[in-house]
Amino acid sequence: MKKRTLKEPAKSGGDHRKTAGATSAPTNLMPPRRISDIKGMLTRPKMAAGGRPYQGRLTVHDVRWSGEGPEAIATFAMTGEQLADAAESYLLWTDQEVQRGWRPEITPRPARELPLAQGYPDPKVYIFDASNADEIAEKLLCGEKLFLGPLIWNLRPGEFEGYFDEKSSSLHLYSGKLYLPDSHHRQQAILKAVRTFKEEQAAYPNFLLSKEFNIELYFLSKDDEGNYFYDKNQRPKPTAKSKAYDLTTLDDRSILAKKVIEKSAALANNVNRVTDRLTARNPQVVTLSTLREMLRDLPSEAEVDKAEVEGLAIVAASFFDLLAQVRPELGLVPVDERRKIREKLIVDAAVMMHGYASLMKSFNESVSELSLRGATVKWQRDLQRLSCNHRYRFGKWSGDLFEKRNPLWSQIGVVKPGKTGQKLTVINTGGARSECGRVLRQLLATKSGVTNIEFLAKR
């Protein structure tokens, strides 16, 4: 189904009583023995008119507990509609002092606490990735499978009143704010999806207000909310793109990249599929995320058809193997040898991989014209100009094209002096990548006898 552009629906508020989960038989999991140690948890329910128990501003059912006393965690399920109702009732809040916060250049400081009901924080003031939340909302509205993980709520001890009914396994919130120490983007996306659906239900037939989400409710102080955010977002190293691409079965370019690795002799065991950096301890020639980027422009269409993957993988693998025959440094080598290569050459630098990607695209065009066999014969000859045996001149310098000391690379912004001025540092910017592609294409387009490469510095 074609996705519709999300509108920002009108905000609403109110102080209504909300209930989450269907009333059912109590679970077998008993509450913590010292739940009353949590400041704000009452030992008896409040009463409404007529002597009946007061349900409170929010009631959740089928609550399961883990932990003891202040370390207790309550978990339960909630529908998207119920979560949105809680937000519209101004129960859900973020505290930006213990969240991503506001932009450092903003003075005076803006509001610290923001209700979820106000919608996305202003990205000019607060650090919030609206595109990330929009993407989640779009997928929810289209009924796509999402792995969102538990949504996180927190009640600060001493700042709320609540009661747990052990008999019905229901938790009643009488007063206080539910803060979001984590999962802010996800909960904003759910709220936006619900609001959008209610405005135009016929446009989103695959969206269900009854879709359930798991909630983890903590009882942390404000300081511990900050500690929770740190542990969840800073202490663990973010998953590298290479590892994420290695795990996914949904990304076309990742599938193609992994297929190329399968078919290339030079890339076998020679791609870092876990992290996005190649350190001195990594003998691999390229990361999976860089290889994926190299393949970005190989298909003619934005999306790769599954039927195309096999053919494109053969083309890309064939090209890389041809390249590795001319430049063995691109094949699998011991870590000590890899370290020596990186010290002197840029032949296996990440920035140069993008230059090779430009040649790979031209190779693919040759395959269309000459067949794979014909293109292979042509490019085996053309790529010899990149061999270490081919000596080039630039001013007083002469040597291997890919030497860091080749003045060409500094003049076009691919290398620069390091902090001490002793070593040359490779620059991996978009401009440097483009220049690598331009130089390689232009060099291979010249006559084979050319040795003076000063003309390549002219853009």
Residues of the chain with pLDDT under 70: 1-34, 69-70, 104-105, 230, 232-239, 243-244, 246-250, 300-303
pLDDT tens digit string along 270-294?
A: 998 877 888 887 899 999 999 999 9
> Does any domain span residue 12?
no
Q: Are residues 247 and 228 in the same domain?
A: no
Q: Which of 181, 203, 233 is the last residue of a domain?
A: 233
Strand partners, 46: none
Number of domains into which the chain is organized: 2
Structure tokens at 384: 């010899």
Q: Which of 212, 233, 254 is the last residue of a domain?
A: 233
User: What are the φ/ψ torsions at residue 274 (nearest 5 degrees)?
Assistant: -110, -45
> Does any domain span residue 364?
yes
Helices (H) and strands (E) in the chain, counts: 12, 18
Instruction: Check if the beta carbon of residue 171 is closer than 8 Å to that of residue 164.
Output: yes
Instruction: Check if the beta carbon of residue 32 is closer than 8 Å to that of residue 164.
Output: no
Q: Are residues 369 and 412 in the same domain?
A: yes
Q: Are residues 175 and 249 in the same domain?
A: no
Q: Which of 179, 201, 233 is the last residue of a domain?
A: 233
Residue 22 CB neighbour total at 10 angstroms: 9
Please state the pTM of the whole predicted model: 0.58
pLDDT tens digit string along 60-113?
A: 999 999 987 668 899 999 999 999 999 999 999 999 888 778 776 677 889 999
Whole-number pLDDT of residue 20: 53
10 Å CB burial of residue 261 (0-12, 13-18, 19+) is buried
Structure tokens at 435: 């220049």
> Does any domain span residue 80?
yes
The whole domain housing 262 covers: 241-457
> Does any domain span residue 10?
no
Buried b / exposed e across 144-174, counting CB within 10 Å, b at 16+? eeeebeebbbbbbbeebbbbbbeebbbbbbb
Whole-number pLDDT of residue 24: 42
